Amino acid sequence: MFISFPTKIDLSACEFDCHFANDHQITAVDVVMSERHAATLAQIKALRHVLHTYGVRCASFSLVGCNHLVVHAEQRQQMKSLRDRACEYASILDASVFVTTSGMRSTVLDENAYMFAQELRHTIATVQARGMRFAVQMDATGFVDGIMAYERIWSLIGQVYCVFDPVALVQNGGDVLAFLHKHANKIAHVRAADVLCRDDVRIASPPVGMGDLRWGPMLSLLYEGGYHGALSITPDGGFWNRNAQRHRMILLSQHHLNQYLFDADNESVLANKVTSLYGRMV
45-80: pLDDT as tens digits: 999 999 999 999 999 999 998 899 988 889 889 999
Q: How far apart are CA 95 and CA 108, in angstroms?
A: 33
Could you tell me which of 270, 260, 272 has the C-alpha nearest to residue 3?
260
Local structure of residue 239 (DSSP, 8 states):
H
Confidence label for 117 from pLDDT (cuts 50, 70 and 90)? very high
Average pLDDT, the chain: 89
Summarize the confidence of residues 98-119 as an average pLDDT.
93
The domains found in the chain, sorted by start residue, are 2-281 (3.20.20.150)
Beta-bridge mates of residue 8: 32
Summarize the confidence of residues 7-22 as an average pLDDT.
94
Q: How far apart are CA 259 and CA 273, in angstroms?
A: 8
Confidence label for 281 from pLDDT (cuts 50, 70 and 90)? very low
Q: How far apart are CA 31 and CA 65, in angstroms?
A: 14
Alpha helices in the chain (DSSP H): 11-23, 41-54, 73-92, 109-129, 147-156, 166-171, 176-183, 215-224, 237-240, 243-258, 267-281
Q: Between the CA of residue 195 and those of 67, 167, 206, what are the distances in Å?
A: 27, 6, 6
